[in-house]
Amino acid sequence: VETPKAEAPKADAGGISAAMVKELRAASGAGMMDCKKALAECNGDIEEAKDFLRKKGLASADKKSGRIAAEGSVCSYIHAGAKLGVLVEVNCETDFVGRGEKFQELVNDMAMQIAACPGVSVVSVEDVSKEMLEKERAIEMEKEDLASKPENIRGQIVQGRLDKIAKEMALLEQPFVKDTSKTVAEVIKAAIAEIGENIQVRRFERYNLGEGIAKKEEDFAAEVEAQSKAMAAKAAEKKEEAPKEEEKASDAPKVEVSAKLVKELRAASGAGMMDCKKALAENNNDIEAAKDFLKKKGLASADKKAGRVAAEGAIASYIHAGSRLGVLVEVNCETDFVARGDTFKELVNDMAMQIAACPQIEVVAVEDVSQAMLDRERAIELEKEDLASKPEAMREKIVEGRLGKIAKEMALLEQAYIKDTSKTVAEVIKASIAEIGENIQIRRFERFVLGEGIEKKQEDFAAEVAAQTGKA
């Protein structure tokens, strides 16, 4: 009878030194007792103990990854210079873990990871567009380097190339910025094992300032010549108007303007001291009329500037207390000099807060609202009972009015400004154009609410306790 082979003796726990445990903890991030046990199981071999812990941890993580993760955190990263910004949502199972330091560090790392990977556009390989991959397949199959290959091998080569493209687009497949020996997916799995909850990178947005905007190619000689002609024409116009203005000034009684009124108008309008004084003099010290005078003057100037190309600017974010709501916004101006100014920076930050405060908005301007959505709404409105008794012509007008209201509720520029509800966001932008002297455009924004759209599991705690104790 063959005698059974004796198992190799395990290292005595007493023979595992504190230095070995410390080394394994530093390498694996596992708990002290887990490291001690792993070293005992692997006869003090550090590398084998690492594999032991990894297998144990990843098996545990794979089991947890099927559970619903609807809590977590929304985080942003704005790179120095505000020319690159990231917004990311990472989910876990409980608010307790979501507020923990380890989870928060992981979320911040994911935001920095996305910022460092310009090629990523989806979370995982499974999220890559099938339509895009089919187009790439057709292109790859036509490439000359495959012409001499057998038919069956060609398909395999193309599939390999498509897999590579998909991996380059997927966040989870990238080398981790803090340790390039691991992928992001492996870092997430290790965090699941350590924290003890399912963790998912749910979605992200990455903005590069001015990407896709065609910058105007300036012909400086032509521009200088055009400006010189414009200045000469303006000077001639002023010369002609001067006698008329003198006559008008002599006819009109002089108005005394107090410093108090100038101060009040400056506070209300943000205009310069001399402009305020002139506005009050022109309007017989009527503050409201002077406000309108300045507004008309400023907005006329802003409308003229709004046609110019704005490809500079800043990307800003706003994360609400508790990290359950986050905003990323890009606002453009014409020059980097203005973009670095305090006035423009304040405006951009205000726009981020404005978007956070408006849950219903989806687009920047009314013109951006989907025509297909409006057509669906029109069909619904026309079928409503309250219009049945109205004449045909009136029905159309009523429906158009309702659609206009829906579109305005969806558009950021139409909202009441949070810092002064007597103005719309569009009016604030126009006033800023007049004050700063450059075209300003809110180009795009993204707004994440933690867990929105995730169906949370309804827990039966009695059944869960029974399952955990082995009674169910």
Contact residues for 276 (Cβ-Cβ < 8 A; gap 6+): 262, 265, 266, 269, 290, 294
State the Cα torsion 309-315-321-325 to the nearest 10°.
70
CA–CA gap between residue 294 and residue 315 (Å, rounded): 30
For 357-414, where are the alpha helices, taking DSSP H only?
A: 371-382, 392-410
Query: What average pLDDT score do residues 213-232 get?
Result: 59
Query: What average pLDDT score do residues 98-113 get?
Result: 97
Q: What are phi and psi of 314, to 5 degrees?
A: -155, 155
Query: What average pLDDT score do residues 54-68 get?
Result: 61
How far CA 231 is from CA of 239, 362, 434, 435, in Å, comes to 12, 43, 20, 21
Residues 446-465: pLDDT tens digits? 999 999 987 665 555 565 55
Quick one: 282 exposed, middle or buried, by C-beta within 10 A (0-12, 13-18, 19+)? middle
CA–CA gap between residue 15 and residue 471 (Å, rounded): 41
Query: What average pLDDT score do residues 321-328 get?
Result: 96
Residue 229 has pLDDT above 50, yes or no: yes
Identify the top-confidence range among 55-59, 267-271, 307-311, 365-369.
365-369
Q: Which of 135, 442, 419, 212 is nearest to 313 (CA)?
A: 442
Higher pLDDT, 396 or 235: 396
Of 8-17, 18-27, 385-394, 445-454, which range is least confident?
Answer: 8-17
| Contacts of the segment 26-35: beta carbons below 8 A, 24+ positions apart | 28/53, 28/54, 29/190, 29/194, 30/57, 30/194
Higher pLDDT, 70 or 89: 89
End-to-end Cα, the chain, rounded Å:
45
Query: What average pLDDT score do residues 319-324 get?
Result: 95
Q: What is the pLDDT of residue 102?
A: 96
Q: What is the pLDDT of residue 252?
A: 45
Higher pLDDT, 471 or 384: 384
Residue 8 has pLDDT above 50, yes or no: no
Higher pLDDT, 205 or 273: 205
CA–CA gap between residue 131 and residue 377 (Å, rounded): 29
CA–CA gap between residue 30 and residue 57 (Å, rounded): 9
For 196-328, where are the alpha helices, taking DSSP H only?
A: 220-251, 259-269, 273-282, 287-305
Percent of the chain with pLDDT over 70: 76
Cα angle value 355/91/448 (rounded, 5°): 10
Output the CA torsion sign for 34, 94, 329, 346.
negative
Judge whether 445 and 328 are in contact, CB under 8 Å: yes
CA–CA gap between residue 27 and residue 19 (Å, rounded): 12
Query: What average pLDDT score do residues 209-220 get?
Result: 70
Residue 387 has pLDDT above 50, yes or no: yes
Residue 173 has pLDDT above 60, yes or no: yes
Q: Which of 131, 92, 90, 130 is nearest to 113 (CA)?
A: 90
Report how far Cα 309 is from the mean position of its chain's Cα atoms. Answer: 23
User: Edge to edge, what strands does the sheet with 325-333 contain?
Assistant: 312-319, 325-333, 441-449
Residue 220 has pLDDT above 60, yes or no: no
Residue 13 has pLDDT above 70, yes or no: no
Q: Which of 443, 435, 433 is nearest to 305 (CA)?
A: 433
Query: Could you write out the DSSP letters of every residue in 27-86?
Result: HH---HHHHHHHHHHTTT-HHHHHHHHHHHHHHHHHHHTTS---EEEEEEEE-TTSSEEE
Residues 203-214: pLDDT tens digits? 999 999 999 876
Query: What average pLDDT score do residues 344-360 get?
Result: 97
Residue 330, token pair as written in the block: 């890009």
Q: Which residues pair with 126 in a beta bridge?
A: none
Q: What is the pLDDT of residue 230?
A: 55
Q: What's the mean per-residue pLDDT of the chain?
A: 84
Higher pLDDT, 242 or 160: 160
Residue 29 has pLDDT above 70, yes or no: no
Q: What is the pLDDT of residue 270?
A: 60
Percent of the chain with pLDDT over 90: 52
Residue 166, token pair as written in the block: 């998909």
Q: What is the pLDDT of residue 14?
A: 56
Please compute Rg for the chain using Cα positions: 32
How far CA 472 is from CA of 37, 68, 201, 451, 466, in Å, comes to 32, 21, 33, 30, 5
Q: What is the pLDDT of residue 64?
A: 63
> Would you call 398 helix, strand, or coil by DSSP?
helix
Judge whether 154 and 137 are in contact, CB under 8 Å: no
CA–CA gap between residue 112 and residue 184 (Å, rounded): 12
pLDDT band at 444 (very low <50, low <70, confident <90, very high): very high
The residue written with tokens 């046609």 in the block is 307
Output the CA torsion sign for 391, 394, 398, 403.
positive
pLDDT band at 142 (very low <50, low <70, confident <90, very high): confident
Of 103-107, 252-256, 284-288, 423-427, which range is least confident?
Answer: 252-256
Q: What is the pLDDT of residue 393?
A: 83
Query: What average pLDDT score do residues 128-138 get?
Result: 93
